[in-house]
A = this chain, B = another copy of it.
Amino acid sequence: MSLIVQKFGGSSLANMQRVFNVARIVTQTYNQGHSVVVVVSAQGDTTDELLSKAYEINEEPSKREMDVLLSSGEQISMALLAMAIEKLGYHVVSLTGRQAGILTNSRYGSARIKSIETERLFKELDAKNIVIVAGFQGWNKYDDITTLGRGGSDTTAVALAASLHADVCEIYTDVDGVFTADPRIVGNPSKLRDISYDEMLELASLGANVLHNRSVEMAKKYGVKLVVRSSLNDSEGTVVKEVGSVEKMYVRGVARDNDIARIAVIGIEDKPGMAFKLFSLLARERISIDVILQSIGRDDTNDISFTVKKADLQKSLGVIRENLGMLNAKEVKYSENYSKVSVVGAGMVNNPGVASMMFEALYDADINIHMITTSEMKISVLVDVEKAERAVNAIHDKFKLGEINS
């Protein structure tokens, strides 16, 4: 007998039929003799509806009250799922973040889990209950409700799996698993049987929306075996674990990210420390920098280009403009017309051929590369936004990723 944590997202619980579908998955697992802890998100559009009610009243509500409001969404879905499981004839109990013992820090709206007091959870499991836990929420030392921010329910599931020493943490979603590329972009992507935490982290941060970064980081840290699978069919899903299988390939997937703004600081004086000054200004504002390119400009000056998330564009431009003098720079330009296209795979670093194959694919498809960045496990390029889908397809074809499981 093992302990299984199963997480279901909002779309898996969007209506009565889907709630019963989830109830059947959960009770089937229970019937196989396992202990089951279920983590749920708010149903379908509930969170968006609550947000719009809030913003209608106050465009800048306090984050504390926003957390009070939003946490009700998971409370509604956990009660409804519990009722469906009762209807199927099983003993079940639903728990809020607090009842499940999920203690967080006090950063409302994007809290971090500090610890999980598992006493109540184990008591309910010992009593043979199916246990449903509200995802995305916890409680802080002031006795207040907190929420974990975007992707929070995945994080709740992994944290519970780690604390309860679960055998596996299953993340149910509306796709069959992790694919070599987004099925909305590429016609014939392959589903990966398994993938390493690091590869999954790269894919997640490069725009694959299957799992949230923090949940993968936590799974890696605590060695939680993750399975990503569909709530709509029985297909096996993708296992995320320490080391992926050694299939004869280096590239595991292609991802695209449109949430990119490029900023170019032009005419920076060519002396040591200028890049440090620029990026420490941005770091102070908690702005994350991605691809960086430094090139020699005219008159012994340098141009430094880099990308940020679109939401950080205006703040970044403001900081830089205020400090153009200190940076000895001439001007700052920006563009939102780029996409980042990346290939990811653990073995790439030892195979220089991967980069040249990628560039060849783009060249054959007549797609210009604006910037390049590489790391241990990925190669990313910036291309024109309107060419990004074509780029993903060209690369996917070049590496024959559609044939992995065939």
Contacts and interface: CB of A to CB of B under 8 A. Distances in A.
Interface of A: 16, 19-20, 50, 53-54, 56-58, 61-62, 64-66, 68-69, 71-72, 75-76, 78-80, 82-84, 86-87, 92-94, 96, 98-99, 120, 143-145
Given A62-B86, A64-B93, A86-B62, A79 B54 contact: yes
Given A20-B57, A99-B143, A120-B143, A76 B69 contact: yes
Contact of A68 (B61, B62, B94): B94
Which 4 A-B pairs have CB atoms at the shortest separation, nearest pair first?
A: A69-B79, A61-B83, A72-B72, A58-B83
A80 B53 contact: yes
Contacts of A64: 93
B94 A80 contact: no
Nearest to A53: B80
Contacts of A84: 57-58
A57 B83 contact: yes
Contacts of A54: 79-80, 83
B50 A76 contact: yes
**Stoichiometry (number of copies):** 2
A143 to B, nearest CB: 6
A316 B80 CA distance: 32
A98 to B, nearest CB: 8
Contacts of A79: 54, 65-66, 68-69, 72
Given A58-B84, A72-B75, 11 more contacts: A16-B56, A20-B57, A57-B84, A58-B87, A65-B79, A65-B83, A65-B94, A66-B83, A68-B94, A69-B76, A72-B76
Is chain A's interface secondary structure helix, strand, loop, or mixed overall? helix
Contacts of A68: 75, 78-79, 82, 94, 96
Most buried by B among A57, A71, A75, A99: A57
A215 to B, nearest CB: 25
Contacts of A145: 96
A75 B86 contact: no
Contacts of A19: 57
A145 B86 CA distance: 18
Contact of A82 (B65, B78, B82, B120): B65
A84 to B, nearest CB: 5
Contacts of A76: 50, 53, 69, 72
A57 B72 contact: no
B57 A16 contact: yes
29 contacts: A16-B56, A16-B57, A19-B57, A20-B57, A54-B80, A54-B83, A57-B83, A57-B84, A57-B87, A58-B84, A58-B86, A61-B86, A62-B82, A65-B86, A65-B92, A66-B79, A66-B83, A68-B75, A68-B78, A68-B79, A68-B96, A69-B75, A69-B80, A69-B83, A72-B75, A72-B79, A96-B145, A98-B98, A99-B143
Contacts of A65: 79, 82-83, 86, 92, 94
Contacts of A99: 143-144
A20 B92 CA distance: 40
A78 B71 CA distance: 13
A297 to B, nearest CB: 47
Nearest to A98: B98
Nearest to A84: B57
Contacts of A16: 53, 56-57
